[in-house]
Structure 1
């Protein structure tokens, strides 16, 4: 089956077919952002001259864990949409990560509990098509800054919220010059209360959040990063982002 037609139909089914209404919010961000490949196999089916065909779903790296959790639901969707022909019939649906499209400079220690978080964030940034909103207390990672700058040059809306920290000062002028940026001051009687968020919203479709600050040092710590595609939760994070952004402009 034509790969592009299969993807377009699957996305449309999630939008309009009521039998998938209970999984639409979970599957739509994943399927719509994935690449679909129909791969013919050498083996024949029980029909004369008909071959098996596997459907490969290449999922953006930040969403692959969630996609694996939803594998059975994705299988049901793809097999429902797939149109068998005299030449091909569907055999299997495989989930694989989207190929990283260029080299990423890595500075990651092998002792990190959940390593390669920087790679996942880079791929999340590259996956964005419309907007990226970042709220992170500490931001001094030049690699992640450059990835955002590349997306700005592609015309995306980039907004950044950071805390007023001494360690942010080296990179902050460039962030403020190139992006819509607000700096959140310390508060409280002793000036020790600070914004401590660490999340990134991509296209209002999903968020990457956890303990990871956008610093080089974070690559050597025991950090966590979670990707969430729940539309209601993403909306809540977006509401909080706008509150902080407007309050501190």
Structure 2
């Protein structure tokens, strides 16, 4: 999906929301919104490095980055998701006034969910944010896998998740895991090296992998991606975290390409 620069300019205001109303999004909420469509960034880390700046400028950069990709579809549908806003009809009206110039339109289906329609849209994708019982959700997707589960996260200390991964490994499912090689992994992490699971520990001090901790994704059967702020640790279950489950082959393949790149770069280091 690709929209004009004029439409991007108008879309910025919808993302930012109106000041002094529930629709208003401050910096952390804006970063969280973009994380729900596949980014893995932290507001305070971005601010510390001078990478966030003004809300409007950051939002414009992100919209320009995802323009022409499926992520823009996901974002627009999230903006009218009734789990994100109490005024989905009002937001949909605003968005339709913008998107009509690019021949796109939000239509409410029989379940009362707004879906985007229009010219040359990518394959339909199911995008579902999850804010509660996240560990249970992840385990359910792992146990439902038939062919492959590829994981790239900072740490895995959750025994229930590790048990689910090992169970699928025993069934012949291709399990591949990338984590940080650091004190947390070495003192509290699950010892996957004692199994036959393909397992990589990558040191953060290696220049190519300084930001590995921001990789938090899992690919299921090359058609589903789990991503978001949730690390696969015991502690994460007690934090205010989220994941997004994206079911679409094209998106899953892009994450798989990134996973393979991480391994290739590691093997060359």
Match of 1:223 among 241, 244, 260: 241
Q: Structure 1 residue 158 and structure 2 residue 158: aligned?
A: no
Q: What SS does the aligned partner of 2:212 have?
A: coil
1:209 aligns with 2:230: no
- 1:175 match: 192
1:195-229 CA-partner distances (Å, limit 9, x unpaired): 12111111101011100000000000010100111
SS in 2 for 1:169: helix
2:151 alignment counterpart: 134
C-alpha contact (below 8 Å) 1:138/1:167 kept by paired residues: yes
Q: 1:183–1:248: 8 Å Cα contact kept in structure 2?
A: no
Question: Tell me, which stretches of 5 or more residues in structure 2 are unaligned?
Answer: 1-110, 116-129
Distance 1:219 1:172, change over 3 A: closer
Alignment check: 8 A CA contact 1:206 1:227 kept: yes
The structure with the greater share of residues assigned to helix is 2
Unaligned runs of 5+ in 1: 1-67, 73-112
Q: Tell me, yes or no, if the aligned pair for 1:212 and 1:223 is still in contact at 8 Å.
A: yes
- Whole-angstrom CA distance in 2 between matches of 1:173 and 1:235: 27
Select the residue among 218, 226, 247 that pairs with 1:200: 218
Task: State the SS of the aligned residue for 1:248.
Answer: helix
User: How far has the Cα of 1:247 moved from its partner?
Assistant: 2.2
1:148 aligns with 2:165: yes
Q: Distance in 1 between matches of 2:191 and 2:112?
A: 39
Task: Give 1:172 deviation, angstroms.
Answer: 4.6
- Counterpart of 1:116? 133
| Structure 1 equivalent of residue 66 of structure 2 | none
Distance 1:244 1:124 in 2: 23
Q: For residues 135 and 121 of structure 1, what CA distance do their matches in structure 2 show?
A: 13
Structure 1 or 2, whichever has the larger Rg, is: 1
- Aligned-residue offset at 1:188: 6.2
Measured in 1, the distance between the counterparts of 2:136 and 2:228 equals 15
Match of 2:251 in 1: 233
* Structure-2 separation of matches of 1:206 and 1:69: 24
* Structure 1 moving runs of 4+ over 3 Å: 68-72, 170-173
With over 3 angstroms needed to count, the CA separation of the structure-2 counterparts of 1:204 and 1:192, relative to structure 1, is: closer
Aligned length: 143
Task: Let me know the Cα RMSD of the aligned residues.
Answer: 2.9
Which protein has the bigger strand share? 1
- From 230, 243, 246, the equivalent of 2:261 is 243
